[in-house]
Amino acid sequence: MKSLQFENQATIAERYPELFRTDWRQRSKIIIGLGAAVALFAYGIYQLDIPLNRLSDGMLRLGSFLQLMVPPDPGSWSRALIYLHALGETLSIAFLGTLGGALLALPFSLLAARNVVANRIIHFLARRSLDTIRGVDTLIWALIWVGVVGLGPFAGILAVICSDFGSFGKLFSEAIEAADKKPVEGVQSAGGHHLHGVRFGLLPQVIPILLSQVLYYFESNTRSATIIGIVGAGGIGLQLAEQIRVLEWQRVSFLILLILITVSAIDWISGKLRFAIIGRRAIA
């Protein structure tokens, strides 16, 4: 059997020698590209004056911190309930922020889609507005809203809404532009006007994709809501920052464990829902 395989390979090599010939030009491009990336990385390390000798000392300190974190301990049952309530705030921030951003972005994404609004000025203004909002990170939005409405989960919800509004607007408009035109043309040929074509020919195609994107962002925003809580936007991030500040490492590890379990559960559930919405089977 092996000899037959070798004979077949030798026959194919004789018949198509260009497929078995080493392409040194392509290999040299890959080698040059990798070398340039390594050289650029080394130059960046040198230019930023990063002391690599501190990495070993930092790893030793990290090991001592990990020892102090074991075992995870909330301190008391009442404090554990406080942490669970803060975790619920984080989930609420992520859910309400994601939902609010998606609801606001949907009509705006229609204005940014070329196959819905043909006016170039409106399309340009909508796109640039989304780019501007999306260019500001969620953490910066949290700092802004904490200064506007004060500390608490409301500032976190507004921060997630603003951040997701720009991202959803771009993703939704691109999904709408990629939709098939034939259902829209069919609705219009049956006597419907442009809005009927959008409602009955365009939106049914893209709604499953949009819902899948919203579920993915909800899972991602659960982590983001933890981070923005550190700057005062409520949730479990606020508790985490406080325990780090007072060097209560066992409580810190308990909070981190809560966050990891929650994110993993949401990731699994949202993955199942995303595959169900787009009509595919999730891989276990």
Assign 50 to helix, strand or coil.
coil
Count other Cβ atoms within 10 Å, centred on residue 279: 7
So what's the pLDDT on residue 271? 75
Is the pLDDT at 272 greater than 50, yes or no? yes
So what's the pLDDT on residue 283? 43
Fold of 74-277: MetI-like fold (1.10.3720)
So what's the pLDDT on residue 96? 92
CA distance 241 to 243: 6
CA distance 235 to 32: 48
Q: What is the pLDDT of residues 54-83, one digit of tens each?
A: 777 777 777 777 777 788 888 788 888 888
Identity at 130, one-letter amino acid code = L
Question: Which of the 8 DSSP states describes residue 280?
Answer: -
So what's the pLDDT on residue 243? 85
Buried b (16+ CB within 10 A) or exposed e, 133-170: bbeeebbebbbebbeeeeebbbbbbbbbbbbbbbbbbb
Domain boundaries, the chain: 2-50, 74-277
Q: What is the pLDDT of residues 164-222, one digit of tens each?
A: 898 898 888 888 888 777 777 677 777 777 777 777 777 778 888 888 888 888 888 88
How does residue 279 score in pLDDT terms, banded at 50, 70 and 90?
Answer: low
If one compares 24 and 149, the residue with the highest pLDDT of the two is 149
How does residue 18 score in pLDDT terms, banded at 50, 70 and 90?
Answer: low
How does residue 22 score in pLDDT terms, banded at 50, 70 and 90?
Answer: low
If one compares 283 and 18, the residue with the highest pLDDT of the two is 18
Is the pLDDT at 123 greater than 50, yes or no? yes
Assign 49 to helix, strand or coil.
coil
Is the pLDDT at 281 greater than 50, yes or no? no
Which of 148, 174, 151 is closest to 162 using CA atoms?
Answer: 148
If one compares 105 and 267, the residue with the highest pLDDT of the two is 105
If one compares 193 and 33, the residue with the highest pLDDT of the two is 33
- Averaged pLDDT of the chain: 80
